[in-house]
């Protein structure tokens, strides 16, 4: 059996593929500049997983040798940085019949002249005439993790066919969100495999340049796994636990006298009998007096704090805050923060508080929190101007001319009550002579 040499330039892999690109060396092996054709039906149909696409490209590269691909499963797994179990799953995925009934991978078992079995020879399904494919470097298969390699194939195909692509289209191809597709593109660019010319194409689209080798060496420490798409690191090479962890199922964590029993015991412990007290009254619930519930426990959480920008706005009414509940103060702080985030100047809100506090008598402010939330902080302007608060301009406090013109054209309806000067009966209608119908 011909064994592949262990090359020094082979990057160190972790589970799920290497995190970066291989280092360029002068004594590079023959496959360092080798390129293979990966059919679009494999990487662009969405039928095969990214790991199966990577193994298809790796087996295709090894099959170009004179004796074909005679690498074992463990050797293929070592090339791509996976476990043997993961490699077997990806190979089985390629060996299964595809949508057209044909498999992408064919395995031929052979026996030597001495009767001993030899390593199987694997062949991938070739590219038919006129079929679309991506012409990619073998170094990218060994260096990039599997989802990045699929993205690399898609960008190589797009550049070769001069097809403009968007992040949404790449996300649909990879089966991730658009944000994750942008993150993966930035990661591929950071590794030096592509160059992104932002907004250089038609209609503001990005243009890409795909390289056969990374432009800069890989960092010493591998990059952390990308979890922006909502998925954790690849753990397909492992297996589920089949034994209980003694640290999680010891006697100290098992409830012996709780509400449930996890294991059968010898019934040594038996609960003592409990006597149910007789109710004090056997009267129906309808005739029983209302029992006041127990008082809720006192609040033991963190004390109320206000941010400096909110406290600067509330300076004109700071003397009212001690007489306001914490719940109302929180609502006031949120409303001020919302107005500040919406673009209203802090000076405008502070001037509004100062002006309305000066106009409102102290005896009429019975509930400071309700007064701040209902009459002071809401910005109501009939004229539509942003600097008009309750008919007065910010900072200056002068009456708004636009609101005055609206009042002249449409005088407000009065809500004053008319009282009879004889009996004192109220009436909304004007009373001629000051007397109601009864007294008239």
Domain endpoint, select from 346, 378, 410: 378
Of 143, 233, 244, 267, residue with least CA distance to 193:
143
Position 287 scores a pLDDT of 53
Phi, psi dihedrals of residue 197, rounded to the nearest 5°: -100, 95
Last residue of a domain, one of 141, 175, 210: 210
Judge whether 193 and 19 are in contact, CB under 8 Å.
Answer: no
Let me know: does 85 contact 74? Beta carbons within 8 Å: no
Main-chain dihedrals φ then ψ at residue 204, nearest 5 degrees: 70, 20
Examine residue 239 and state whether it is found in any structural domain, yes or no: no
Q: Which residue blocks in 37-125 are alpha helix, DSSP H?
A: 40-43, 50-63, 73-80, 84-95
Write down the pLDDT at residue 416.
Answer: 59
Q: What does the pLDDT average to over 323-338? A: 87
Q: Is residue 439 part of a domain?
A: no
Residue 110, SS3 per DSSP: strand
Percent share of the chain, pLDDT over 90: 19
How many domains are there within the chain?
A: 2
Q: Is 408 inside a domain boundary?
A: no
Q: Tell whether 345 and 200 lie within a shared domain.
A: no
**What is the rounded CA–CA span in Å between residue 61 and residue 142?**
11
Does 64 share its domain with 201?
yes
Mean pLDDT of the 277-301 span? 58
Which of 50-59, 266-275, 371-380 comes out lowest in average pLDDT? 266-275
DSSP for 122-169, written as a single string: EEE--PPTT--EEEEEHHHHHHS-HHHHHHHHHHHHHHHHT----HHH
Check if the beta carbon of residue 141 is closer than 8 Å to that of residue 61: yes
- Cα separation, 427 vs 440, in Å, equals 14
Is residue 384 assigned to a domain? Answer: no
The reported pLDDT for the residue numbered 288 is 55
Residues for the chain: how many in total? 440
Q: Is residue 81 in a domain? A: yes
Rounded to 10 deg, the angle between the 146-161 and 178-190 helix axes is 90
Q: Write the pLDDT tens digit of every residue in 121-173.
A: 898 998 989 899 999 999 999 889 999 999 999 999 999 998 888 888 888 88
* Structural domain span for residue 360: 305-378
Residue 254 lies in a domain: no
Query: Could you tell me the pLDDT band of residue 270, with boundaries at 50, 70 and 90?
Result: low
Angle, CA 375 vertex, CA 371 and CA 379 arms, to 5°? 140
- The verdict on residue 314 lying in a domain is yes
Of 230, 183, 216, the residue nearest 20 (C-alpha): 216
Question: Do 39 and 186 fall within a single domain?
Answer: yes
Confidence band of 213 (pLDDT split at 50, 70, 90) = confident
Strands 418-419 and 117-124: unpaired
Kindly tell me if the per-residue pLDDT of 191 is higher than 70.
Answer: yes
Q: How many CB atoms lie within 10 A of CB 203?
A: 7
* Cα–Cα distance for residue pair 438/423, rounded to 1 Å: 9
Under the banding of pLDDT at 50, 70 and 90, the label for residue 267 is low
Same domain, 45 and 175: yes
Separation of first and last alpha carbons in the chain? 125
pLDDT digits (tens, 9 = 90+) for 73-122: 899 998 888 999 999 999 999 999 988 889 999 888 877 666 666 778 89
Mean pLDDT: which of 5-9, 45-49, 203-207, 300-304 is highest?
45-49
- Domain co-membership, 198 together with 329: no
Cα 55 to Cα 25, 93, 151, distances in angstroms: 24, 10, 15
Does residue 239 surpass a pLDDT of 50? no
Residue 9 banded pLDDT, cuts 50, 70, 90: very low
Q: Which of 210, 228, 260 is the last residue of a domain?
A: 210
The reply to whether 351 falls in a domain is yes
- For residue 282, pLDDT over 90 is answered with no
Running DSSP on this structure, what letter comes out for residue 223?
P
- pLDDT, mean over the chain: 75
> Is 70 exceeded by the pLDDT of residue 348?
yes
Query: What is the average per-residue pLDDT within 234-238?
Result: 42
Mean pLDDT score, 399-406? 78
Question: Rounded to whole angstroms, what are the CA distances from 40 to 43, 159, 171?
Answer: 5, 14, 16
Helix, strand, coil abundance in the chain, percent, nearest 5: 35, 10, 55
CA distance 407 to 372: 26
Looking at per-residue pLDDT, the higher value among 357 and 393 belongs to: 357
């Amino acid at each position: 059996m011909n064994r592949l040499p262990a090359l020094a330039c082979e990057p160190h892999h972790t589970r799920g593929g290497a995190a970066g690109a291989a280092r360029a060396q002068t004594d590079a092996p023959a496959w360092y500049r080798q390129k293979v054709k990966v059919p679009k039906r494999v990487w662009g149909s969405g039928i095969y997983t990214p790991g199966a696409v990577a193994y298809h490209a790796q087996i295709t590269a090894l099959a170009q040798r004179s004796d074909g691909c005679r690498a074992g499963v463990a050797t293929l797994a070592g090339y791509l940085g996976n476990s043997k179990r993961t490699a077997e799953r990806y190979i089985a995925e390629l060996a299964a019949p595809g949508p057209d009934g044909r498999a992408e991978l064919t395995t031929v078992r052979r026996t030597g002249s001495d009767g001993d079995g030899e390593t199987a020879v694997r062949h991938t399904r070739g590219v038919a005439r006129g079929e679309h494919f991506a012409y990619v470097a073998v170094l990218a298969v060994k260096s990039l993790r599997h989802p990045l390699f699929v993205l690399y194939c898609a960008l190589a195909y797009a550049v070769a066919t001069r097809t403009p692509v968007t992040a949404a289209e790449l996300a649909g191809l990879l089966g991730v969100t658009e944000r994750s597709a942008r993150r993966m593109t930035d990661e591929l660019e950071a590794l030096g495999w592509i160059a992104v010319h932002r907004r250089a194409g038609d209609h503001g689209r990005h243009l890409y340049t795909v390289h056969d080798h990374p432009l800069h060496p890989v960092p010493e420490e591998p990059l952390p796994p990308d979890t922006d798409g909502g998925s954790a690191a690849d753990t397909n090479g492992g297996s589920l636990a089949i034994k209980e962890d003694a640290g999680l199922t010891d006697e100290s964590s098992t409830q012996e006298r709780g509400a449930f029993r996890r294991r059968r015991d010898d019934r040594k412990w038996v609960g003592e009998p409990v006597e149910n007290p007789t109710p004090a009254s056997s009267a129906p619930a309808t005739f029983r007096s209302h029992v006041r519930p127990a008082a809720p426990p006192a609040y033991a959480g963190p004390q109320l704090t206000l941010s400096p920008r909110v406290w600067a706005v509330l300076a004109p009414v700071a003397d009212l805050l001690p007489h306001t509940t914490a719940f109302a103060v929180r609502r006031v702080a949120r409303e001020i923060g919302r107005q500040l985030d919406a673009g209203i100047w802090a000076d405008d809100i502070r001037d509004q508080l100062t002006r309305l506090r000066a106009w409102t008598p102290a005896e009429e402010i019975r509930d400071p929190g309700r007064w701040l939330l209902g009459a002071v902080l809401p910005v109501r302007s009939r004229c539509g101007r942003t600097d008009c608060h309750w008919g007065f301009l910010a900072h200056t406090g002068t009456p708004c001319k636009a609101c005055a013109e609206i009042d002249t054209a449409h005088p407000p309806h009065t809500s004053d009550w008319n009282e009879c000067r004889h009996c004192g009966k109220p009436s909304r209608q004007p009373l001629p002579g000051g007397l109601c119908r009864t007294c008239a």
